[in-house]
Amino acid sequence: MEKLIEGNLDYLAADDVYAQVRHDTSVNGQRPYAVVVTCSDSRVPPEHIFSAGLGELFVVRTAGNVVGDYERGTVEYAVGHLGAKLVLVMGHSHCGAVGAALELRSGESHAHAPKSLGAIVSEIAEAIKHEDTEAGAVQANVRNSIARLRESEELREVRIVGAIYDIETGKVKILDT
């Protein structure tokens, strides 16, 4: 907790630019240029990865970047009400959720997974059932999340792009969709 409080004090002291942008966006509202749907993994922070500032990215993060009703509704809001023109669904290397789904498929027990976490792993396991490699599974999982978003009438027209982030090199690879 102390670390969080100190971090906020550092943020407040950091730069007048932040204060100016906070003021502008609180008065004029937000106009994020893209939506990023990605994993909650602490090594995958979109604002760092894309050198984005306050008000620029509308971010949805879940373990394994899975998309259900709440996530899809969040993206609908960003596209329909805030005018975001692009949705990027980004998986990443060494994803723990995808790894757990691969293990589940290979028969290793996840009997002790809590119910809600188990639902995430099951969703991914179904999406990657034809994949044998981690890289293939991460891609298939991204494509599944894109398909989940496309279930929404509101998201039929918006541009949705898949990507994979390499947690070691920092490089984002755009997938052919």
Residues at the contact surface with Zn ion, assessed by CB under 5 A: 39, 41, 95
The whole-angstrom separation of Cα 163 and Cα 114 is 29
CA angle in degrees (0–180, nearest 5) for 71-100-143: 45
Shortest reach from residue 78's CB to Zn ion, in Å = 21
State the Rg of the chain over Cα.
18
Three-state DSSP class for residue 111: coil
Contacts of 17 by beta carbon, 8 Å cutoff, 6+ apart: 53
Q: Which is nearer to Zn ion, 41 or 56 (CB)?
A: 41
Half-sphere exposure of 108 (CA within 13 A, CB side): 8
Q: Which is nearer to Zn ion, 39 or 57 (CB)?
A: 39
Phi then psi dihedrals of residue 175, to 5 deg: -90, 150
Q: Which is nearer to Zn ion, 24 or 166 (CB)?
A: 166
Shortest reach from residue 96's CB to Zn ion, in Å = 6
Shortest reach from residue 143's CB to Zn ion, in Å = 16
